A and B are shown apart, each in its own frame.
Chain A
Amino acid sequence: MQQQQQQFELVDPPSDAISSVVFCPTTSNHLLVSSWDKTVKLYDVDDNSLRASFQHKASVLDCCFSDGAHVFSGGLDHCIKSFDINTTNESVVGLHDKAVKCVEYSLEKHMIVSGSWDCTIRLWDVRKKDALFGQYEIGDGAKVFALSLVYYKLVVATAGRQFFIYDIRNMSETIQKRESSLKFMTRCVKCMPNRQGYASSSIEGRVAVEFFDPSPEIQARKYAFKCHRKVIDGVDTVYPVNALAFNPTHGTFASGGADGVVNIWDGFNKKRLKQYPQYPTSIASLDFSREGQYLAIASSYTFEEGEKDHPPDSVFIRHIGENECKPRIVTSSA
């Protein structure tokens, strides 16, 4: 019973792997789920009901909200679609040359930022009919794997373990280009809500926390740690870390791995706050709700081991207690 209250599974989940779960920035109860079954679905987590859905022509890889009423998504059909929740109108915002891996909405710029395997970042001003605002080649043709936006800062993680930091007001120049602090392929990147830096995860069970400020003293604070490993037959088995999500209020973050485990980390004190019991399969995506009271956990096989039988794809909504994600104040001998 206790378990039930703490966590529930969404009814009517997507019929194929889940690519992304995103909470609405204005209300706490709307959750957007994009899936490989070509759909983007909007759930009401309070009622645990499916509110709306729309389709792409191919699998959807990412979705985002702009405001409470408009959502955007992109996927293997190369196009970015917009959907109006209230009117259920859908339209095509624009096209990439290859599959769209990630979409994000910039509240400050009122623009959609999309990253694609065509090695470009494109900005879309959806208020205009001619939506493409700009298109920017990333590096020397590096596929975009993940991107994250905070305020005007845009962090783009690409193939080849590269990170590019932009100011979306001036995309023509890269503010910083970094090599990943992790030695293996980047899986996910998320910016800290306090705009100081970002966390990234790799396929080799590691998470790195980095900071924007290029000054040496700030850079000295960056670190990486091992996680999502399991000892099997005396051998440490390493799982990819697929998902990260920052708690908007506390600045702590959750990580989800292919081991099906979700951890909550206190990045300030370098402590693990919580580990949730294992989910049926890999964690594909994570997101905290607006005020951090829910954590959406997409438990969906992420194809890391190729074609295989796997448990059904499902989305779990977890209630987060008030202090569950609060960083513990290290009481030094005050």
Chain B
Amino acid sequence: MERKKVISNVQQVTMNNKEFQHLKNIPEFSSFEHQKENILPVKQGRSAAALSQIFSSEPSALYTELQAGHDKFNAELENLDELDDPFDVYDRYIKWTMENYPQASGPHSKVCQLLERASNSFINDARYKNDPRYLRCWLQYSKHVRRLKEHFAFLKSNGIGLDLATYYEEYAELMEEMKCFKEANEIFETGISRRAQPLGRLNKRYKQFLTRMESNGVNFNTTVTQLNLNPRRTILGSKSSASSTQSQPMNVFHQRNPISHVVSDVGSTNVISNNNNNNGKLDIFYDPYGEVGNAAITSTDSGTSTWNNYGTYLTRKKEDIREAEQWRGVTLPQNKKVYTPMVAKLEVYRDKSVEHDSTNIRQCNEQINKKETTFQEKRPKQVKRYELGQKERWSIKINDFYDENDDEISFEEKRAKALELLEVKLSEIVEDKFEPQEKNTNDKKKITLQSCNIENTPEAKHYVLETKSPVLEQIPIIQPSKTECNDIEEYNIPVHKINRLCKFKFLLISIYASDNTLTFVQKLASDMNTIVKKPSPTICTKAALSDIIGMFTFTQPSKDIRNHNIDDENVAPNTNVVHQQSANSNHSQKPSKISQIDGRETDDQKNNENSRGNKSKNFDTVTPIKETRREYMLITTPSRELEQHAITEVRPSTNESGFGDTRADSVSPIECIEEDSLESPTFTQLSNPCNPLDRKVIEQILVAIRPPVNRYKGFYDAQLQTFNHGSKIEEIARSWNVQSRRGTSILINGDKPVIFFNDSFLINQKIDEGGYGKIYRVLDTNDFADDQDEKKSSRALKIETPSSAWEFYIIRQLQERIISPTIDSIISVYSLYCYKDESYMVMEFCHQGTILDAINKAKKDNSQLDELLVFFFTIELLKTMESIHQAGIIHGDIKADNCILRLEPTVEWGSRYDPSGANGWSKKGIKLIDFGRSIDVTLFPNDMKFIAEWVTDDQDCVEMREGRPWKWQADYYGLAGVVHCMLHNQYMQITPILAESNNLMSGPATMALKRYKPILSFKRYWQGELWQKLFDLLLNPLLAKKDGQMPITQELKNIREEFEQYLIQNCEKNGKSLKGLLKKLEVS
């Protein structure tokens, strides 16, 4: 055949009359190949000629041609009524359209509309009920829109094509596509039973279907009932049978159109109509007018074709079209703003006179200060803004009360300015201010002070040094007097006054510091020196120098110099206190070097020292002369030492030996106080909160401390010297370990002691090592040589690299500040050898191990510390912490391994616990060690808070962990941690509980503070109430007081007393005794 197959379709092209005529000129495929993607495949194929013509002709020509065709058919359709076979017109029209619009569904084709029109026109026409052309029209239409079961249901309800095999074939094909094999099967059966024509073809198709089904494993005999359920499973995917594991994927069509599915079921079989009711839940499709649903239902119910309108494609898409609704009350969105024409605004009222005034002022100011450009804009604004009412008048000249910066000036300021009182020199005021005090001070002291000042100034140093000896010659050495009290009385008051004056002088200096300070000071120095009639025991100290230097280098405005320590507590010591303290310190000191040295000293010096020592608290324990003398022995020859008299002052300044001139030998009362008073300026520049362990901060503090650390007893200063013995000591300790294990004597390395100055130590084993340094057990050779008692001469040597005097300072301060016997609970330190690279601190050695050791031991035995012991240690800890807090020091690192057991042997030891320490109980307790992280709060402003800049863990308090500022909390938390550890053998972990917000704190200042408690609960047989109270207090110190103030020492004391009462009553109960428990601990 010459006919050409077009497109992909394999079907034979049916012959057309028209085509036949054009047979001769069969077009080339190439003529429309370029458009082949746009050609909709048709079952029957397409005429190549027509396609060629369509795609080869000009668009406009084609358009007119097509239009002509349309017109022709439309004209025919007009007269449809007159025709015998009206559908024939449609049929031809459709065919023509199909041919000429190969894109078919394109926007121009209107095929869909045409099919719609054709099919809908003859729904009720009996002639076409079983006309194959009409049915084909329907099926074509349904293909165009979307092949739905509904179509077939509609056709069925209207009896269209029910006798035609095509209907059943198509319907079954659809069902088969939808995997509704049962329905497909039924459809075929219905068709065959109705003997639809051509029956042969239908049978043939049915057989083909059945073979397909068989190959797919579908057996209609068994699946009939199960398949009924299929529609219900559409959402989850259809399962072909309950027993089979085969689950078919969900049909997209089903998912999208569950209702349509149901409707078609209704139309086709009664069985499925049940599903409609069962699927009531899936109420997605809303059919308000019942066009689809109702029609379907009614059609089933009545069996007649009341569903006589299938609806057009557009109406079926009606969900996409917005329904018409009432406009009443609806705001219509406006795209553009409505601009109303501009109308002249009300003119701003301007008061001419004031305007004039202000401009005048402006001009004046411009002349004065041309920089003030901002002011020019500001000024008129403010004046204009705050205009008086129209009919009002100022009684005052308002402009007088604004300065050139437009800031307000109060009447008082104005008056002060007018009276030239505001510009009063600060110095005058200060001088004036202290006049009353000065009246009371005698001249002598005043001069003393001044001379002291001079000598302290850096520039004056040289000068003073030269004239030193004559001055010193006149120093009245305080005569040893037996009635010391008198001496003190006599001295106290002036000291107090001098302090005030002293500060005043420093103020003066600081005020003038900004300009030519040096000349001033020099001048002052020389001036003052001439005045000096009766010099006092003063000396030039580096401390004092650095103080002044510090002030000058900081060059802070006078503003920053705080005067709040005018009435320093240390200034006027109570005689009684001093006595008590000195007595106490003597008492509490263990047999140490002091006594030995004392023995060596002359009576004269001793008395001298004593009398000085009692002058004031400050120089009581701070720098006794004897100690410095001792230092001298190290660096000077014995012969020179012999030459030294009570006055050793000249030496330090002239001494050439490395550290000589930094040494302060004797501290005059004046110095002490005056230096004290100037601490705070040094720290004012610290941020708040600050990291108290910052090396810089600590260095700064150590430099500023008055008296300086290197004047403390037992401080051996060699900061210019490197020592570098750390590794050597380490080696010795290791070899000692080896030797001791072999059982050889400790004395094996007795011949190579480590020597610091003139002290030498035998290194034993290493006790501990941490980030801060290493601790060794050493033997003091001096002691050891005396009595060979190993225990007695044992010391702990703490080596820190780089060197740090901080811990030494803290412990010395504590020893000075704590008067109560609690001082026993703080490790005592003998000496610090401070080198440039390393520092060696010699401390007392405690052999009984730490609380942590005790806990671990108990843990090993699968038990824990008895609650009585915990009570005892808790009380001891609380007591110790209270006293160090009272002394103004935060330990900062309280933990179980920093608490050493202190269970010293006693002759008498009552079995009943005594909190006062009587009956030998004072010998039992703990010792706090490791003050390396301590903070001396007194050095900081009252409101100073601290911040942790180190990596924190569960053992650090909440504030630290959350990066919030803290202060006393560190110790409270630490203590709680120790107690928890003792109780539970576990490190403490805490959890917040909801706290009622503090009612007394009202307003936005109220902060709902979290309340914390330990996670672990107390054992039932413990004194849960007491423990809970303690933990609550320690973990929530801010909630302890109504105003959230800290420290909560008093509150802790109260609870400690409760603990003590409990312990007194229960120390010997239930066969346990505290004494016994402690003894056991002591032995082990």
Contact = CB atoms under 8 A, between A and B. Distances in A.
Interface stretch (A24-32, A269-277, A298-306, A319-327): A298-306
Interface string B324-336: 0000000000000
Question: Which of A90, A117, A133 counts the most chain B CB atoms within 10 A?
Answer: A117
B432 interface: yes
Question: Which of B408, B422, B1001 counts the most chain A CB atoms within 10 A?
Answer: B408
Interface string A148-170: 00000000000111000001011
A156 to B, nearest CB: 14
A232 to B, nearest CB: 7
Nearest to A17: B415
A198 B669 CA distance: 52
A203 B400 CA distance: 12
Contact of B418 (A58, A214, A303): A303
Contacts of B426: 78
Interface in B390-430: 391-398, 400-401, 407-416, 418-419, 421-422, 424, 426, 428-430
Contacts of A203: 396, 398, 401
B407 A170 contact: no
A130 B566 contact: yes
Nearest to B563: A95
B415 A303 contact: yes
A99 B413 CA distance: 9
A285 to B, nearest CB: 12
Interface stretch (A1-9, A42-50, A233-241, A286-294): A233-241
B967 to A, nearest CB: 14
B386 A184 contact: yes
Contacts of B392: 229, 235-238
Contacts of B569: 129-130
B436 interface: yes
A307 B392 CA distance: 24
A183 B562 contact: no
A131 B1043 contact: no
A160 B407 contact: yes
Nearest to B1042: A169
B565 interface: yes
Interface in B434-451: 434-436
A307 B418 contact: yes
B395 A19 contact: no
A306 B414 contact: yes
A288 B412 CA distance: 23
B568 interface: yes
A305 B395 contact: yes
B70 interface: no
A97 B429 contact: no
A101 B410 contact: yes
B381 interface: no
Contacts, number: 159
B395 A59 contact: no
A84 interface: no
Is the interface on chain A under 10, 10 to 19, 20 to 34, or 35 or more residues?
A: 35 or more
A76 B416 contact: yes
A76 B421 contact: yes
Contacts of B413: 99, 117, 143
A130 B567 contact: yes
B144 to A, nearest CB: 67
B388 A131 contact: no
A214 B1002 CA distance: 12
B1004 A175 contact: yes
Interface in A65-116: 76-79, 90, 92, 94-95, 97, 99, 101
Interface string A162-182: 000001011011011000000
B942 interface: yes
A239 B568 contact: no
A79 B431 CA distance: 12
Given A58-B421, A95-B563, A167-B1003, A238 B394 contact: yes
Interface string A13-28: 0000101000000000
A52 B434 CA distance: 21
A101 B412 CA distance: 8
A187 to B, nearest CB: 8
A213 B523 CA distance: 60
A132 interface: yes
B923 to A, nearest CB: 37
Contact of A77 (B388, B429, B558): B429
Contact of B396 (A79, A131, A240): A240
A185 interface: yes
A329 B532 CA distance: 77
Nearest to B407: A159
B746 to A, nearest CB: 52
Question: Which of B388, B397, B413, B434 counts the most chain A CB atoms within 10 A?
Answer: B413
Contacts of A51: none
Contacts of B430: 95
A236 B566 contact: no
Interface in B991-1012: 1001, 1003-1005
Contacts of B414: 303, 306
B194 interface: no
Given A167-B1005, A235-B393, A238-B392, A58 B567 contact: no
B741 interface: no
A169 to B, nearest CB: 5
A97 B117 CA distance: 100
Contacts of A79: 429, 433
A145 B410 contact: yes
B943 interface: yes
Interface in B314-351: none
Contacts of A239: 395-396
A78 B561 CA distance: 14
A117 B409 CA distance: 10
Contacts of A132: 562-564
A203 B398 CA distance: 9
Question: Which of A172, A185, A258 counts the most chain B CB atoms within 10 A?
Answer: A185
A59 B568 contact: no
Interface string A30-42: 0000001000000
Nearest to B945: A172
Interface string B924-962: 000000000000000000110000000000000000000
B866 to A, nearest CB: 43
A99 B419 CA distance: 14
B559 interface: yes
Given A76-B416, A303-B415, A304-B411, A172 B567 contact: no
B361 to A, nearest CB: 16
A135 B1003 CA distance: 22
B389 interface: yes
A17 B407 CA distance: 24
A226 B386 CA distance: 15
A210 interface: no
A20 B618 CA distance: 43
23 contacts: A36-B419, A57-B433, A58-B424, A90-B436, A92-B434, A128-B567, A134-B942, A145-B410, A159-B408, A169-B1043, A185-B408, A203-B398, A203-B401, A232-B393, A238-B388, A238-B392, A239-B395, A240-B396, A258-B395, A303-B415, A305-B396, A305-B397, A306-B414
Interface of A: 17, 19, 36, 57-59, 61, 76-79, 90, 92, 94-95, 97, 99, 101, 117-118, 128-134, 143, 145, 159-161, 167, 169-170, 172-173, 175-176, 183-185, 187, 203-204, 212, 214, 229, 232, 234-240, 242, 258-259, 302-307
Given A76-B424, A212-B1003, 19 more contacts: A57-B433, A77-B429, A99-B412, A99-B422, A132-B564, A133-B942, A134-B943, A160-B408, A172-B943, A183-B385, A185-B408, A203-B396, A235-B392, A236-B391, A238-B388, A258-B396, A303-B411, A304-B411, A307-B418
